[in-house]
Amino acid sequence: MKLTLNVWRQKGPNDSGHFETYHTDKVLPEMSFLEMLDVVNQDLIAEGKEPIAFDHDCREGICGTCGMMINGVPHGRQIAGTPTTTCQLHMRFFKDGDTITIEPWRAKAFPVLKDLVVDRSAFDHIIQSGGYISVPTGAAPDGNAIPVPKPKADYAFDAAACIGCGACVAACPNASAMLFTGAKVAHLAALPQGQAERYDRVLRMVDTHDAEGFGGCTNFAECEAVCPKGISIDVIAQMNRDLFWANLTRSQPKAKKESH
């Protein structure tokens, strides 16, 4: 296959960046998108040029490290026709002679570090602000002590399947991370173990989400469409319900402390 690539090149965080065009005729339909970039990079190295920097690790669609805009859509979702990560997008979906535009995630909260590599530490900050259940190691009751109805467990799993790639943010016109945040809130809120901190959690996580520079959700649902794990925007509705209750109680004095 012959391809023309327009690739975003940016030396570092302070460089303004630009597109460069590359041609390759060494692409095979069995290759993954990242293997295609490997091939282009090997040629660049041979020509004494710097290869294109891009993040990747597992190359099997689970670590969430890879991610780029392919013809304007995160992970090239529109090309695969099904949810995918960039590493699981295969070249058989492209045609000989295609031109492909490749850019990094674009969002204020995800500054570009180099070429296609962005800084997603804002996601970690959201989880650090409450995306967990506070259970010290060794203090757990027997695993079967608290039954969890299967539908609840399945729902929790569906939400927990998020890989934290950032496609939802990249797809959103507001660069909102509500799908990411909602997924963790919904996962933990669905389980009996997550109840104790439920409302405090959602408040803290949403506050951090906003402080990190992500935008608000205005229901475009672009996030759901590109999510490689098919996380449903229902999690955002769930989060908003919890947030509503949490805000009601937040405005009241902390009842528990006062009653002592």
Give residues 65-124 in contact with ligand FES (rule: CB under 6 A): 65-66, 85-87
- Applying CB under 8 A, which part among 68-76, 191-199, 212-220, 239-247 lies near another protein? 191-199
Q: Binding of another protein at residue 200 (CB under 8 A)? A: no
Rounded Cα–Cα distance for residues 99 and 106 (Å)? 21
**How many residues of this chain bind another protein (CB under 8 A)?**
78
135 binds, among ligand FES, another protein, none (CB under 5 to 8 A by kind): another protein
66 binds, among ligand FES, another protein, none (CB under 5 to 8 A by kind): ligand FES
- 18 - beta bridge partners? 9
Strands 3-9 and 99-103: parallel
Nearest to 172 by CA among 113, 97, 238, 224: 224
DSSP result, 154-190? HHHHHHHT-----HHHHH-TT-B-HHHHHHHHHHHHT
Between residue 73 and residue 102, which ones bind another protein under the rule CB under 8 A? 82, 84, 88, 90, 92
CA distances from 131 to 153, 156, 177, 183, 188 (A): 17, 14, 14, 10, 8
Q: Binding of another protein at residue 53 (CB under 8 A)? A: yes
Q: Binding of another protein at residue 61 (CB under 8 A)? A: yes
Give the nearer residue to another protein in terms of CB position, either 53 or 237. Answer: 53
In eight-state DSSP terms, residue 125 is: H
Rounded Cα–Cα distance for residues 51 and 115 (Å)? 10
Rounded Cα–Cα distance for residues 177 and 179 (Å)? 6
Among 56, 120, 201, 229, binds ligand FES (CB under 6 A): 56
- Applying CB under 6 A, which part among 20-28, 44-52, 54-62, 200-208 lies near ligand FES? 54-62
- Applying CB under 8 A, which part among 96-104, 125-133, 214-222, 246-254 lies near another protein? 125-133
Among 149, 216, 218, 250, binds another protein (CB under 8 A): 149
Q: Binding of another protein at residue 51 (CB under 8 A)? A: yes
Rounded Cα–Cα distance for residues 191 and 194 (Å)? 5
- Chain positions contacting ligand FES, by CB under 6 A: 56-59, 61-66, 85-87
